[in-house]
């Protein structure tokens, strides 16, 4: 199963539409959290909002995650060693108030397991290779003891 999430705050119709059109001609099960969107997918199972527990279950069950370029969703995929395809929202398409997701995507692009699509064409290319995508290095959900000690020393200095 492939899990598509655009977060819970804003719709991301460009991303949902490309995945929906791809699903129409590919034999892949896609479940999606699409937000309050005008575009309603025809070939993927999309809902506005998924409760946190169900979201976590779908995320863990997914073979691949497709998402907006939100730091939280990327970190979650890395923590679970899930391959993730991200496409940043863009201000010019009125998908967000600024282009911070472009910067996030560029920053994470070098990490193993993070596949960045800066536009619909690149997203289509990654979707075409979806069965070849691999997860990256496992990151820990919390800061290491050494980092916490260093921060504590800095605060107490």
Q: Give me the CATH number covering residue 124.
A: 3.40.50.2000
In this prediction, residues 117-140 reach a mean pLDDT of 94
- Contact yes or no for 47/29 (Cβ under 8 A): no
pLDDT in tens, 2-12: 999 998 778 89
Q: How confident is the model at residue 122 (pLDDT cuts 50, 70, 90)?
A: very high
- For residue 24, pLDDT beyond 90: yes
Going by the DSSP 8-state scheme, the letter that residue 6 receives in this structure is -
Domain that holds residue 138: 2-156
What token pair was written down for 34?
Answer: 């699409």
- The confidence score (pLDDT) of residue 148 equals 57
- The confidence score (pLDDT) of residue 100 equals 76
Specify the residue for token string 């890395």.
Answer: 78
- Contact yes or no for 68/101 (Cβ under 8 A): yes
Cα separation, 54 vs 38, in Å, equals 23
Q: Torsions phi, psi of 3, nearest 5?
A: -110, 120
Q: Is 116 helix (H, G, I), strand (E, B) or coil?
A: strand
Domain count, the chain: 1
How much helix, strand and coil, in percent to the nearest 5, is found in the chain? 45, 15, 40
Cα dihedral angle (28, 119, 36, 46), rounded to 10 degrees?
Answer: 0
- For residue 106, pLDDT beyond 70: yes
pTM for the whole structure: 0.88
- Contact yes or no for 56/16 (Cβ under 8 A): no
DSSP string for residues in 57-103: HHHHH-SEEEEES-HHHHHHHHHTT--EEEE---GGGTSSSSSHHHH
- For residue 27, pLDDT beyond 90: no
pLDDT in tens, 64-82: 999 999 989 999 999 999 9
Q: How confident is the model at residue 53 (pLDDT cuts 50, 70, 90)?
A: very high
- The confidence score (pLDDT) of residue 141 equals 74
């Amino acid at each position: 199963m492939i899990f598509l999430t655009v977060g819970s705050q804003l719709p991301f119709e460009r991303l949902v539409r490309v995945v929906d059109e791809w699903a129409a001609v590919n034999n892949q099960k896609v479940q999606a959290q699409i937000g309050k969107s005008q575009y309603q997918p025809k070939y993927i199972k999309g809902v506005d909002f998924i409760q946190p527990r169900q979201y976590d279950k779908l995320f863990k069950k997914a073979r691949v995650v497709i998402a907006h370029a939100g730091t939280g969703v990327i970190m979650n995929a890395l923590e679970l060693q899930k391959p993730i395809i991200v496409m940043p929202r863009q201000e010019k398409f009125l998908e967000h108030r600024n282009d911070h997701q472009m910067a996030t995507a560029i920053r994470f692009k070098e990490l193993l397991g993070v596949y960045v699509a800066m536009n619909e064409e690149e997203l289509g290319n990654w979707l075409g290779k979806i069965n070849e995508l691999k997860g990256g290095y496992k990151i820990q959900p919390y800061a290491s003891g050494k980092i916490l000690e260093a921060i504590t020393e800095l605060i107490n200095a």
